[in-house]
Amino acid sequence: MRAVIQRVIGSAVSVDGVSVGKIGAGLNVLLCAMAGDTPEQARLLAEKLCKLRIFSDENGKMNRSVLDVGGSVLLISQFTLAADTRKGNRPSFTSAAESRTAEELYEHFAALLRQNGVKRVETGVFGADMRVEILNDGPVTIIMDTDTWTRGNSA
């Protein structure tokens, strides 16, 4: 699974001009299920994301997690994170999980965030054409990819 995690002051998502999710301080997470991804990878990513220390402590050091600060998460499905741009000028998305599997993993991931203690998890609408407003804080942006963990690289 691939995720782009952004520390935000606030974030919102709408579909057809209607707000479907909105948070204050916390994390905006763009999530892509890749072909072959499993619920176990979703679990590992959710656990790591919840404990990721990217919020400032009283000394200005990134020492606090979204759980520590009582932050929220806005989770957005983002299949374009699977883009392969090695050949030509049009990205290929063949490495993304098929839609049904991707949606199941997306919903499972949202549930895992809640199970891990995130009090407020908002979501977009899977597969919809969404408008996402992100007010970055820092900016702090982290990319996580469970494939790098299975290859033994640090994440």
For the question of residue 78 being annotated catalytic, the response is yes
For the question of residue 93 being annotated catalytic, the response is no
Q: Which of 6, 78, 123, 146 is catalytic?
A: 78
Q: Which of 80, 115, 148, 150 is catalytic?
A: 80
User: What are the residues whose beta carbons fall under 8 Å from the beta carbon of 58, sequence distance 6 or more?
Assistant: none
- Tell me the CA distances in angstroms from 51 to 32, 36, 108, 125, one per residue in order: 20, 25, 18, 25
User: What are the residues whose beta carbons fall under 8 Å from the beta carbon of 117, sequence distance 6 or more?
Assistant: 50, 67
Q: Which of 41, 55, 79, 123 is catalytic?
A: 79
Residues assigned a catalytic role = 78-80
